[in-house]
Amino acid sequence: MIGRFIAGAWKRLDRVADALEKIGSYVLVGMVLLTTSDIISRRFFNSPFPFTYEVTEYLLVVVAWCYIAFTTSKGRHVSVDTLTSRFPPRLRSNILVIGDFITIIFLGLISWQNVLQARNVQELGTTSAIMHIPKYPFQFWVAIGAALACLMFLAKTLHALLGKQEKAAGPAGEGKTQ
């Protein structure tokens, strides 16, 4: 029963991550077009856009956190297993679970602190220097992206732990649902 709940939650989170990947891709194309336009304007007309750096900074936040959630959903984060590849499978699996728990804690902290900071920045009315873009929506975006990645790592880790318990139960436990 818990396994089905986790699988259902994973499917929903995966759909959200897929949507975020599309958003991130469109925003990335927008960044490329903006930067290219700025370069052309600077080179040929000696008139760069004064806002390019600022807008690109904000758009990069959106792209990064869209892709962090997407990469988590696909299990494609970069990992170096030079040392752990020599360990026995059980130890390697335990190390991965411990690493995932540490990641869950850090992503949870990133999300929580960005919510607090976004509220503070919103109350202060902090904006960017040139275009006066409010900063708080982008900090909320970081909080949402980190929370989504945190939930995905949590579901992945719980699935791995429950999978171990089901395997330990052996063939007698197969096919039974509670």
How would DSSP label each residue in 101-167? HHHHHHHHHHHHHHHHHHHHHHHHT-B-SSS--BSHHHHHHHHHHHHHHHHHHHHHHHHHHHHHHHH
The whole-number pLDDT of residue 82 equals: 82
Residues facing residue 134 across a β-bridge: 127
Yes or no: say if 59 and 30 are a contact pair by the CB < 8 Å rule: yes
The whole-number pLDDT of residue 159 equals: 84
CA–CA separation, 40 vs 17, rounded Å?
34
DSSP single-letter state for residue 78: -
3-class SS of residue 37: helix
Q: Which residues contact 94 (CB under 8 A, 6 or more apart)?
A: none
The whole-number pLDDT of residue 1 equals: 67
pTM of this prediction? 0.84
Instruction: List the pLDDT tens digit at each of the 178 positions of the chain.
Output: 677 888 888 899 999 999 999 999 999 999 999 999 999 999 999 999 999 999 999 999 999 999 998 998 888 887 778 888 888 998 988 898 999 999 999 999 999 999 999 999 999 999 999 999 999 999 999 999 999 999 999 998 988 888 755 444 433 333 333 3
The whole-number pLDDT of residue 170 equals: 37
Residue with tokens 């909320």: 140
